[in-house]
A and B are shown apart, each in its own frame.
Chain A
Amino acid sequence: MKALVAVKRVIDYNVKVRVKADNSGVDLSNTKMSINPFDEIAVEEAVRLKEAGVIDEVIVASIGPKESQEQIRAALALGGDRGILVVSDEKPYPLQVAKILKSIAETESTDIILLGKQAIDDDNNQTGQMLAALMGIGQGTFASEVKVEGDKVNVTREIDGGLQTVSLALPAVITTDLRLNEPRYAKLPNIMKAKKKQLDEKTPADFGVDMTSKQEIIKVVPPADRKAGIKVGSVDELIDKLRNEAKVI
Chain B
Amino acid sequence: MAILVYAEHDNASLKKATLNTIAAAKQIGGDIHVLVAGSGAQAVADEAAKAEGVTKVLLADNAAYEHQLAGNVALLVADVAGDYSHILAAATTTGKNFMPRVAALLDVSMLSEISGVVDAQTFERPIYAGNATATVKTTEDKVVLTVRTTAFDPVASEGGSATVETIDNVQDTGKASFVNEEMAKSDRPELTSAGIVVSGGRALANGENFTKYIEPLADKLGAAVGASRAAVDAGYVPNDMQVGQTGKIVAPQLYIAAGISGAIQHLAGMKDSKVIVAINNDPESPIASVADYFLEADLFEALPELTSKI
A binds B: yes
Known A-B contacts A122-B127, A230-B294; A249 and B132 likewise in contact (beta carbons under 8 Å): no
CB pair A248 B181 closer than 8 Å: no
Interface size class for chain A?
35 or more
CB pair B184 A161 closer than 8 Å: yes
Interface residues of A in 128-163 (CB under 8 A from B): 128-134, 136-142, 144, 154, 157-163
- The reply to whether the CB of B2 lies closer than 8 angstroms to some CB of chain A is no
Could you tell me the dominant secondary structure of chain B's interface residues? mixed
- The reply to whether the CB of B194 lies closer than 8 angstroms to some CB of chain A is no
B176 / chain A contacts, CB cutoff of 8 Å: 138-140, 166-169, 172
B107 / chain A contacts, CB cutoff of 8 Å: 95
CB pair B94 A160 closer than 8 Å: yes
CB pair A165 B179 closer than 8 Å: yes
Roughly how many angstroms separate A76 CA and B137 CA in the complex, as a whole number?
37
Count of chain A to chain B residue pairs whose CB atoms are closer than 8 Å in the complex = 250
Could you tell me the dominant secondary structure of chain A's interface residues? mixed
Contact of B109 among A138, A215, A234 (CB under 8 A): A215
CB pair B128 A164 closer than 8 Å: no
Contact of A179 among B131, B239, B306 (CB under 8 A): B239
Roughly how many angstroms separate A23 CA and B78 CA in the complex, as a whole number?
35
CB pair A218 B97 closer than 8 Å: no
Roughly how many angstroms separate A231 CA and B45 CA in the complex, as a whole number?
49
**Nearest chain A CB to B107's CB is how many angstroms away?**
8
CB pair A133 B305 closer than 8 Å: no
- The reply to whether the CB of B96 lies closer than 8 angstroms to some CB of chain A is yes
A239 / chain B contacts, CB cutoff of 8 Å: 306, 309-310
B71 / chain A contacts, CB cutoff of 8 Å: 132-133, 138-139
Interface residues of A in 46-101 (CB under 8 A from B): 93-95, 98
Known A-B contacts A220-B133, A232-B295; A26 and B128 likewise in contact (beta carbons under 8 Å): yes
- The reply to whether the CB of A104 lies closer than 8 angstroms to some CB of chain B is no
Contact of B97 among A127, A141, A227, A235 (CB under 8 A): A141
- The reply to whether the CB of B221 lies closer than 8 angstroms to some CB of chain A is yes
Among A179, A218, A248, the one with the most B-chain Cβ atoms within 10 Å of its Cβ is: A248
In addition to A123-B129, A215-B139, A229-B293, 17 A-B residue pairs with Cβ atoms within 8 Å of each other are: A95-B104, A120-B245, A121-B128, A123-B112, A129-B96, A130-B104, A139-B70, A159-B93, A162-B184, A162-B238, A216-B137, A218-B122, A231-B293, A234-B295, A235-B305, A235-B309, A242-B277
